[in-house]
Amino acid sequence: MNVLKIAAFSDGETGGNPAGVVIGDALPPEARMQRIAAEVGFSETAFAAPTGGGWRVRYFSPQSEVPFCGHATIALGAALALQRGDGVFALTLNQAQITVEGRRDGDVIAAALQSPPTHSAPATPELVSDALALFGYAPGDLDPRIPPAVAHAGANHLVLALRSRKALSAMHYALEAGRALMQRAELTTIVLVHAESAQRFHTRNPFASGGVYEDPATGAATAALAGYLRDIAWPHGGAIDVVQGEDMGMLSRLHADIPPTPGSSIRVSGTARVMTA
C-alpha cells in the first residue's frame, strides 16, 4: 500500500508537520489502518477513498483514531491536487462534512481546509489546576485576556494562554501523565498559546492522547483557537497567523480566516511539501 508522506503548514521547503496519506479505492479495515498509522509513526495518517462526489476520510494516530486532524487534511488536499488536479474536495469524516482545497504553484502546494463548526466553554477550575500541575506552570503564568477554555472544531482542545514567550518555550511534561489527563478530560490536544499581538500567535501542542509528545503544526487546534477567540470577542480583525514548531526546530506557519458568524467554520490554510524520505 502506497503511503505518501507530506509535511503540512511548511515554511517554504522546510518545517511543517509530517502526515501520512493513503488514497485507495476503498478504506482498509480499521485494524489495518491502525497498524499502518503505527508503522508510519507520524502523529496522524489520513486514509481516503472516493464516495459519491467526494471522499470518505478517517484519521489515525499511532495509538488511536482521532475524529479530525487539520494537518493531515492539508496533506490530503495536497495529495489530491497532485493526483487529481487543483480543486476543492468534499470530505466526509466520522462526525462532520468539510472541504479541503489544494492548488499547485510550481513546486509549492497551497492547501486550505474548512473546519467543522466551532464552539467553546470555560475550562473547569479542576481541569485548569491539573493542566498547570502537568506543565509546572503557576496561575500567574496565564494570560488573563484569554481565559482557559475547552475549544472545539471537530475535536476538543484545552486552550491555555501564557503571558510570556519564555514560559511557552519552557514547556515540558511527562508523556504518560499527559495522556492520562487528556483521556480523562476527553481532550485531543492541549493548546499552549502566547499572543505576540492581536493577530499573531505562537503555539505549542502536546498530543499525548495520541502517543505524541508534541505536534509541530496543528490545524484542528488552530481552528478551535480561532473559533474561541471569536467567542470572546478578541480583536482578531478577521484573521490570525500562528507560528508553531519553532521550539522543536520544525518551524510551521498556519493562517486562519475567522468569519463573524458565531460557531461557523474556520478556514485554515498553509503550504505543504512532499517529503522524499
Break the chain into its structural domains and give their ranges: 4-114, 119-268
44 catalytically annotated: yes
CATH class given for the domain over 4-114: alpha beta
The type of residue at 108 is V
Contacts of 29 (CB under 8 A, 6+ apart): none
Cα–Cα distance, 136 to 77 (Å, whole number)? 38
Q: What pLDDT sits at residue 277?
A: 61
- Of 240, 246, 170, nearest to 203 by C-alpha is 246
Fold match between domain 4-114 and domain 119-268? yes
Residues in a beta bridge with 193: 161, 203
As given in the structure block, the three cell numbers for residue 158 are: 484545552
The pTM score is 0.93
As given in the structure block, the three cell numbers for residue 53 are: 462526489
Q: What pLDDT sits at residue 248?
A: 95
Q: Which residue has the cell 468569519?
A: 259
Cα–Cα distance, 152 to 156 (Å, whole number)? 5
Give the domain 119-268 fold: Diaminopimelate Epimerase; Chain A, domain 1 (3.10.310)
Q: Which of 13, 30, 39, 44 is catalytic?
A: 44
Averaged over successive runs of 10 residues, the pLDDT of the chain (277 residues) comes to 93 93 97 96 96 95 92 97 96 95 87 96 98 98 98 96 98 98 97 98 95 94 98 98 96 98 98 86
Cα–Cα distance, 157 to 113 (Å, whole number)? 18
Count of residues in the chain:
277
Contacts of 124 (CB under 8 A, 6+ apart): none
Q: What pLDDT sits at residue 106?
A: 73
